[in-house]
Chain A
Amino acid sequence: MPNAGAPQPPFPPKPQPPRPPTAAPALHDPSPPPPSSPPGGRGGEEWPAREAALLARIREQGVADRAAWGELLVHHQDRLYAVCLRMVGREAAADLTQDAMVKILQGLEGYDGRSQLSTWMIRIAMNACLSWLRGQKLRRHKGLGGYEEDSVRGLGTEGTGGELSAGMGVQRNERQIAVSASLTELPDDQRAILILRDVQGLDYEQVGAVLEIAVGTVKSRLFRARLALRELVEERLGTSGRVGEGGNEQS
């Protein structure tokens, strides 16, 4: 703790409520925890049991039980699509989500239950996206053409009339636009880890399971990714002095 002669810390002790906007940032993030259930999915306490029952049906009857795998995928499709959308952009997101779903169905018999099913599904979707991105970069490197990075970067302009915003029905503020656009400029691995942790709300273990890295590595990479994102956001907003103002500045 600071001594008596030192200036008082600009943040309150942990138990205290957040400081007014003029105060320095709090050490701990007071914002609510990330979503624990898939966006758009039917969360609730009864879902795990339902999911287990569906899994059992699929394992017994394979993909012939279309009702079972249909219900399972409907529950997870929004989240899988969101991951792909953030990773590869709108043009390729639907196709890659479709690829991922096919692989999920083909691999369900091999799902060992060591991680949550949703984590396992996101891992497949994320791997599909990263493979696709690698392939596209290789094609561009060889002069064979490849995806337009603008298709990904376009996600950052939704606030200025882009389709995404209209489709989402969400009014975005300047910061959200800047963050969204900056995400697309990050290297793939940094974008992936931020999407998993901060956008999708996976915990460290789940992020590690998806990216197949240790939890400690997840944390250090997260820190680096946040640092990189921060710089990009500051550049985009052009108000580096403004960014940190107000620890409770909310989007």
Chain B
Amino acid sequence: MTERTIQHILVTTGLTEAELAELLEGGAVGAEREAALRVTLVRHPEVAKFFAGVRTDRAAMRVLDQSVRAPAGLLEAVEIRIDQEALRTLTEPATSGMIPVGAAVTRIERRNPIAVLVEQVWVRRMATAAGLALAIGVGAWGTFVGIQNWPRGGGLPTDGGAGTIARNDPADVPDGAAPDTNLGEMTIAAAEASRAPYTALAMVSPAEGPGIAADGTVFSEAELVSLASAGRLAIVISGDTRAIPGRIDRLASQGRGFGVASVSQETVGASMSPLAAAMTREAGIPRSEWAGALRDPWSARGGGAGISTSRRFMSISAGADAASLHSVLAACGVLGEGSGVPGRTVRIIVLDEAVESPVATDAMSVLWWSASPAKWARTTTVPVVIEE
């Protein structure tokens, strides 16, 4: 079947290629033209063979792919691609929705020069070094400020803070009164700075927010953040602690810089030894000497022997800011809905000496430097002790 034959058919029958295609599939082109084609088919056997051949070809093609099945995992791969595209859309809004272009087309992207710089290895290294220097500087500054502002000696507040600041006044608590463990109402301080090797014990008032030192000094949230950043803040929870681990886990699962790491006994005895020592000393302080003569929640445990035998140490990582610390305090039952649970006491211990508590490790805590500099933030860890 040659081009010449085709042309012959087209000329003699007056049919077009389109009409021939239709006829091959059984379409109608008109009686006259059909008749002309029939004559042509009779006179040109090769044309008849061509028609028959096309029909058999079509029959063969029709069943060619009827059993073809897409490979397994195709949709899963598509799902992954869709997720990747969505992420790319988030990070490259200017190029989202672009359809891949052909080889002859060049896509010109205008990129942020800062982003280009950040991609350079040396810039990242310098940024890392600068970040470390900054962290050390801020830490030193925080330590310095903490030391400078730290209350040493002095009496309890005597001014108009009454009602919000607890006073170390035995008259406030009648003899034999049941311990008031409602933390929502009270602020309590304990231990004179001169007697305790550590500077102060403090608790936080849910009503007021700040912590109160033994000498009645009120700690603002900023100061607590500074202490936490310096590794000098610890939280000890005792009594009814059943809900605490779950609350801490939920906090850690939020991400946003929060994390929790368990602390081994070896670590407690090593890098966290200042905390362990402080707690040992704390246990030796007669409860009567705690500022808790004012509705002392620990007095019910009797004397100074109110230390439980089972302690669970953990370390909460959080951003070094007031909001993050607020969340940590809330998770520990100091603030918010979970505070003021009868039978539970929470002490915030401010240490003389910084402790190094383990940092919760996840991808972002290790690769923080790989994120956008805009997202860099200082973090801190707060050791938490659950006494059961």
Contact = CB atoms under 8 A, between A and B. Distances in A.
Interface of A: 1-2, 6-7, 9-11, 24-31, 34-35, 39-40, 63, 66, 70, 73-74, 77-78, 80-82, 85-86, 94, 97-99, 101-103, 105-106, 131, 134-135, 138-139, 167-170, 175-176, 178-180, 183, 194, 198-201, 216, 219-220, 222-224, 226-227, 229-231, 233-234, 240-241, 243-247, 249-251
The list of the 7 closest CB pairs from A to B, nearest first, reads A244-B49, A25-B52, A219-B18, A28-B26, A81-B70, A220-B17, A77-B70
A31 B18 contact: no
Contact of A179 (B17, B50, B60, B82): B60
A179 B70 contact: no
Given A39-B68, A219-B18, 17 more contacts: A9-B39, A24-B42, A27-B51, A30-B26, A35-B66, A63-B86, A70-B75, A82-B68, A86-B65, A139-B103, A176-B63, A179-B60, A220-B18, A231-B1, A233-B57, A244-B53, A250-B56
Classify the interface of chain A: helix, strand, loop or mixed. helix
Contact of B99 (A28, A74, A103, A219): A103
A230 B1 contact: yes
Interface stretch (B30-38, B186-194, B250-258): B30-38
Contacts of A28: 23, 25-26
B38 A170 contact: no
B20 interface: yes
B65 A82 contact: yes
Interface of B: 1, 6, 16-26, 34-35, 37-39, 41-42, 45-46, 48-71, 74-75, 77-79, 81-82, 85-86, 97, 99-100, 102-104
Contact of A31 (B53, B62, B69, B86): B62
Contacts of A167: 69
B74 A176 contact: no
Contacts of B45: 24, 244
B27 to A, nearest CB: 8
Given A135-B103, A220-B16, A2 B39 contact: yes
Contact of A27 (B16, B41, B63, B69): B41
Contacts of B79: 66, 70
A230 B86 contact: no
B70 A97 contact: yes
Nearest to A244: B49
Given A6-B39, A101-B78, A231-B1, A243 B68 contact: no
Contact of A199 (B38, B42, B61): B61
B82 A25 contact: no
Given A220-B17, A224-B17, A244 B50 contact: yes
A170 B17 contact: no
A249 B75 contact: no
A81 B17 CA distance: 31
A70 B78 CA distance: 9
Contacts of B19: 219
A229 B60 CA distance: 12
B31 to A, nearest CB: 9
B62 A227 contact: no
B49 A243 contact: yes
Given A25-B48, A220-B18, A201 B60 contact: no
A31 B37 CA distance: 20
A101 B74 contact: yes
A123 to B, nearest CB: 14
Contact of A78 (B64, B68, B81): B68
Given A94-B71, A244-B50, A249-B56, A27 B37 contact: yes
B19 to A, nearest CB: 8
Given A10-B48, A101-B74, A223-B18, A27 B68 contact: no
B81 A98 contact: yes
B299 to A, nearest CB: 57
